[in-house]
Structures are given as C-alpha cells and as structure tokens.
Structure 1
Amino acid sequence: MPDQSRGRRARWIRFREGRATVEGFDLEKCMTAYCSTRRAPPRRTLRVVAFLVACGFASPLLAASTHFPPQTKIRLTIVQWMPTKGAYEQWGALGGDYVVSEAGTISLPVLGTVDLGDLDDTALGKEIARRLQARIGLVETPEATVQVLSYPPIYVIGDVSTPGQFEFRTGMTVLQALAMSGGEAQDKNSLSRSQEIELIGELRSIDANVLRGSIRIARLQAEISGAKEIEFTLPIGTDRRVAEAILEQEEAIFSARRNDLERQSKSLTELRKLLDAELVSLGEKAKGVDANASSLEKELANVKTMVERGLTIPSRQAELERTLRGIRSDQLDLVTATMRARQSIAETTRDLDGLYDKRHTEIASELQTELSALDQQELKRETTQKKLLDGLAEGGGSTSREKRPLIFAVTRRIDSKTNEFPATEMTLLIPGDVVRVTQVPLEATQFDTEETDVSVSPTPRSQEASQ
C-alpha cells in the first residue's frame, strides 16, 4: 500500500498487533477528517464503524442503565388489609408522588431516604413494604405499589428539523427520536421536492387567476363602453383551451347582463309610452267635458231667463244646475288623472335614466376591484417565481434532494459519568439521553473507495462530568 494511502487511512484506523482501535470516536474530529480528505475512507472502514455500533459497542452503557433515572416522577400507593373492617385501607400519609433525586434516591415519610439502586418498580414496592413492616412493627407486610408517572425527557440535537427535548417512552429508539424531531434537517436555502411541487402548483393557480381576472376586466370594459362583444387578446404562452373556457363563461355573463339591462330598459320605455298615450287620452276627454260644460252653461243661462219670465218651471233650472255640477266634478277628476299620468311619466323617465347610471356605477366599482386584485396576483406571481428560482439555484436542483447519510451518537450520563458512543437507528434509548444527528456531506460520499478486511475491538470514549 502506498504511504500516501496509508496516511489517509491512519486518520480513521490505527493498526496495532493485527487489530484496529477506534480512537475515542470524536464525531466532530471524525467528520472534519472525513470531509477534508480528497478521497473518502475505504468502504470497508465505514463497515468497521457500523460493525462497532452494531456489535456491542454500546452494550456496557446499556447494561448500566437504571430503572429510575434522576428526575423520574413516581407514584407510591400503600394499602393494608384490615381484618376487622374486611377491607383494604390506604395509607395516604405515606403514599403520593415523588421525584427521584440526582443521587438516585427518594425521601419518604417515616422511612427517610430510600436508595433505588437497580431496583425495578416491583422490587422497590416490596422493599418499601418490608422497611415499613420493620420500622412500625407490623404483623403483616403492607402492600406497596410503585407506578412511573413520567421519565426525564430525551434531547435531540444536530442536523434535525426541530431540535429540542421530547417525552421519553419505554422502548424508544434513535429512529423514533429522529421522527419526533421532524426528521433530518433540510437546507434552509434549498427546496424539498414537496416544496417545489407546492410552489409550482401555486404558480399555476396564480396564472389561472391572472388569466381569469384579465378576461373579466375585458368584459367589464366592454360593458362600461357599451360594446356589443368582448375584445380580448390571448397572451403568448397561455393555454388556449383554458382561456377559451374562461372567455366563454365571461361571454355568457356579458350576454346575460346585457339582456337584463335591455329587458328592463324596454319595459320602462314601453311603460312611458303607455303613460304618454294615457295623457293624450285624458286631454281629449278633458276637451269633450269642457265642451259639454260650456254648452250646459249656455243652456242654463237661457233657462234662467225663461224662469224669470215665467215661461218654464223652476225644476228645469235645478236639473241643469245639478248636471253642470257633475260635469265640473268630472273636469277635476280629469285634471287629477292628468297630473298623475305626468308624474308617472317623470318617474319612469327617472328610473330609465337611473338604470343606466346604476349599472355604470356597479361596473366601475367591479372594474376597480378586479384591477386591484389583478395587481396583487401579478405581484404574488413575481414573488413566488423568485422564491422558486432562488430555491432551485441555492439547492442545486435535484442534487439537494439526494439522501445524505446520517451518523448518530448518544451521550448518556451514568454514575456521574458522561459517555458518548456511536449508535444506529435501532439503538435503544434511556431517559436523559442526548441524541446527536450529523449529516454526511454529499461530496464526501461520492469518492471511489477501497475495501480492506480488518478485525476490530471497541473502545468507547468516557469523560468525567460534574453533577
């Protein structure tokens, strides 16, 4: 093997008496060396690291775990059978919720400090019951049960979407912790495939809204100008099928509104013509009534003269006077009807003029609203396009979506010592663990590698930590 290749390989594995020893497995130093090499370490070397993780590298730490880590919240329930009552009696003064201290103990009334050690919940309950019997001098041992209410949380840090603390559950693995933290982190400046699809769909929706708004504006402009049809030129690159469908809908609205306007206008115009005809008829009728009144007045004057001379009876005069009063009443009715007809004509003319004014105002308001909405849609389209282009440029296209390998490490505190060891997705966690997730750069995984068979012996790194 050339000296240069042996030197690069020495950054990862040191051969001693036919065995390789992993030196401390410092992830940060390991990643720095890994990314700084012009060639990746041999593929076999990566298999060695995986072998260390899978074959008992962390087993001493797992075996040293306790059933009640510090900050575990437990509930103690103590009952005793009372023969005289024929029932169990609960000792509320001794039972309750307790939190395990950093020293792995709990403080109970009467018993004082109880060291939990490696006891599980069943063994702890029996130990508390035994001590109570000895301390109080009971004939029979009481029943004590211990229930775990909550464990200390675990912590996930590194290249994850939402690092932080999460609730621990029995049997939790590193993969589950990764899922709770939102999975591996994405490049802040790049777009995931789902984000890219979402932005493309949003752009298509905006384009459709812009096209629909433009055609609607053309329809409103045709209405306000009194045109007979909509004039609209399709922009270059527009989907003709979609545009024709939208234009057909707007033309239907245009025709319906125009027909409605024409129908109302025609109705008011015909009403005004009828009122004009009625006014003419009333005028003719008034002329006839006036002629009758004039003739009757002359006849009444002659009858009065004849009554004064005694040539006719007075009843004839009275009858003519009654008839004349009726004609005068008819004249007043005709005057009133004429005034009403003229008033109706004026109202109809006002409604006809107001019909066009109201429609013009409504169209102008709609046009202003549509122009404002179109400006907003075009601005939104420009912003979305820029966001999509910037994301694709920063992420380097589909390369940013390639799966990058993950390296896991677990930091665990046991017996006042902090130990960090490599882990796999299926490594079991205990309360208080800190999971560090590191993404391997794509550039470092694309070099050609060699294979070398070596035997290994795990040597985990331990570091003293103050309580």
Structure 2
Amino acid sequence: MPVQRSARERTRRGGRVSSNPIARLRHGRFAAALLAGAAPMFFAAGAQADDYRLAAQTKIHISIIQWNPSKGEYQRWEALSGDFLVSSQGTIGVPVVGSLDVSGKTSAEVAAQISAALHDKMGLISPPDVSIEIAQFPSIYVVGAVTTPGAYQFRPDLTVLQAVALAGGRYRPPPEKAGQSDISLLGELTTIHTKQLRLLGRIARLQAELGGDAEIHFPAELTGAGARDLVDQIMALEGTLFTARANEKTRQVDKLSDLRDMYTRELDMLATKSKDTGEEITQTETEVAKITKLVEQGIVLSSRWSELRRVLGQMRADHAQGDIDAMRARQGLSETTRQEFSVSDQRQTEVATQLRDALSELAEVRSREYTIRQLLLAASTVVPGATSEGSSDLKLVIIRQDRQGPKEMNASETTSLVPGDVVKVYVATSMQDIVDPATSQQRTTTRPGGETQ
C-alpha cells in the first residue's frame, strides 16, 4: 500500500523504489493503464451507462491508479481494484475505505467518493485516480404469457419487445396438444355458458321472491342471449317454480289464517258462555241463600236445599272449565299468529340464503369462463362466434422500483427498460370480440327495417 513519505523523500528525484508491494506493480505508461482499466468494460460507454444510478445486484469494476513521478508511470493498486457487487442494502465494501452507500449514485459520484476517502485515510499528497465501470447490470425479469419466463441479462437500450424475444416470444402450446386441449376447453366453455344462463334465471326468480314481486323480471343478459330455445326453457321453468312456491306460501298462510279465525270465534263463544254462566251462578247463589233461611225456619225440607247446593257447585265447575278453555284458545291463537309470521320469515331466510349461494356460484362460473377464454386466446384459438374483426394482442406492463417503492405502468413494444424492471405480458382482447359459444350455430341478421331474420 502507498505510504506517506517525508518531505525529503518527496523532493528527491530518482532513488530506490519503495519496498511496498503495490508500488512495485506497474502497468507501463498512462495509455496502457487506461486500456487495462477499460478491459472489463464490454458495454459501449453510452449515455445510458453513464447516467445509470447504481442499484442492488449491480456489479461494478473499480480501478485505482496513481501517478508515480519518481518513475514517470502510473501504478495500479491491485489490492483495492476489482469487481464489487452492490448488496441488497445498496452498499459495497471497499478495502481501507470500508462500507459505502452507493444506492442511487452514478459511477462518477462513487468514484469521487472513493478517491476522497482514500486521500483522507491514507494521507496521500493527491487523491488517486478512481474509475468505475459497470461490469454487469441487474437482471430484468419477464413473466406472463411468454415461452420461457425468467431472469435475463440487461444491456443498454434494451426495449420491451427485445425482452419478450429473449423470453422466447409469446407462449404457444405444442401443436400436438393444442387441438385436443382446445376441443376440451370449448366443450367446457359451452357447459359453463349454459350453467351461467340457468343461474341468471334462478337469481331473477329468487330476487322476485325476496322482493315480493308479482312476476319475475329477467335480466337482459338472459333475454338477449342467442340460444332462444334454452332461454325460453329456463324462463318457463323458473316461472313455474315461482308460481308453485307462491301458491305453497299462500296455502300455508291461508291455513294458519283459518285456524286463527277459528280460535277467535271460540274465544268469543267462551266469553259469551262465561258471562251467561256467571249470571246463572249469581241467581242460584241468591236462591240458595233464601232457601237456607227457610230451612232454618223449618218451612222447606233440607233435601231441596241440598239439591240447589249441588247445582250451584256444578255451575261453578263449568264456569272454571270455561276459563280454562278460554286460556287454551288464547294460547292457540297466539301460537297460530306466531306461525303465520314465521312462514314469511322462514321463506325470506331461505330465499336470501339461496340467492347468496347462487350469486357466489355465478361469480365462480364467470371467473372460470374468463380463464378458459384467456387460455383459448393464448393458444391463438378462434373462439366460436368471434367476429372476424376481433383483435388479440399482448398487453405489456412494467413494474419498476423507485424510492417510493414498486410502481406499475403500461408499456409499448418500444419502451426502453432499465435494470431491475419486471415485464408482465398479458393476452389482451376486447371482450366484445368474444360472444357466447351457444350462439356459434345461430346467426341473426337485421334487415334495414329493423326486422330480425
């Protein structure tokens, strides 16, 4: 390592070369030193490399040289020169200097930082010359609908289209498997479409039941579907179920209503009977009181008094039984009223549960349908019913890391990439270009007058 010399040694010309091993390592003249420092640089020194700000996983080559006036040549500091990899924390470890934060800095800025640090720590007369070249940029990543997704070496002026080409281009299944797979997917797509129409009809019926509507209002997605026979069948079936369930509910409510009316009439009759019985008991009690006095006077026989007492007891028992019957009738009326309300509540709960399940199933069916269509499009399969003007192309998205975090942005084929970019490739197709597979065998044409043929 170069060491600080005394003033006499610095002013003396010639003399013995220092025994320091670094000082003995020579690389000839200045031109030779520059060529040796530039050897690891296999990229052109373009503006993109010069302006590039160091990021994690960037490999840089550091060359440190110093002019030796006594020998009239540059000396290369081999112990401090070499390749360094920027860590995930954005730092590099340079001997003598230590750990340096280089994230977001250019090569020139880091070179100046290292040169100043060496000058201060080693007490040099003048700072050494430090040059930094980019030996290897961080990789870019290509994922999605490409043949071989993965990490690829970045080079300056790399575009999105070139990155997709590095990944093998757009993914296409092997020809021998594509046909069988497509037929299977088309069959599943037709089944899913039919299931979706049936779910739409069921959901419309359940919504009508839940809202207490007099009829079903089917959505345009169902009524406007091309498979008229299937649609008519679904609408007729759901209409029949709607009517049958409404009639069943009406019968249950009517039955409970009749039972409630019966209990009400029974209570009215028991109330009238209780009133009459009470009056008879009062009269009988008065008569018993009179006869009791006559019996005490010996005017009336005691057998007459005993008979009246027996009749009075029976009347009181009948009156008590009437009260018990009235309590039973009131209990039955209360239970019937509760059941009458329960019929509506249970039906609402049942319908709401079925509607929730149907909506969840419809969401799953639509998700599966979308997946199948994307698979067919990725395989360049023409979906039955698709218009000849239908377009299918790649959608390109770049995820780029900055100081605020990762950001996603749309890109074109000519968009330039920077090291560390992630390119996501999608198959983008307008959903208007794909129609229901059930309509593949049925075409409709509209005449100028608006009449459908």
User: Which structure has more RCO (C-alpha within 8 Å, separation ≥ 6)?
Assistant: 1
TM-score, length basis structure 2: 0.45
Given the two structures, how large is their TM-score scaled by the length of structure 1? 0.43
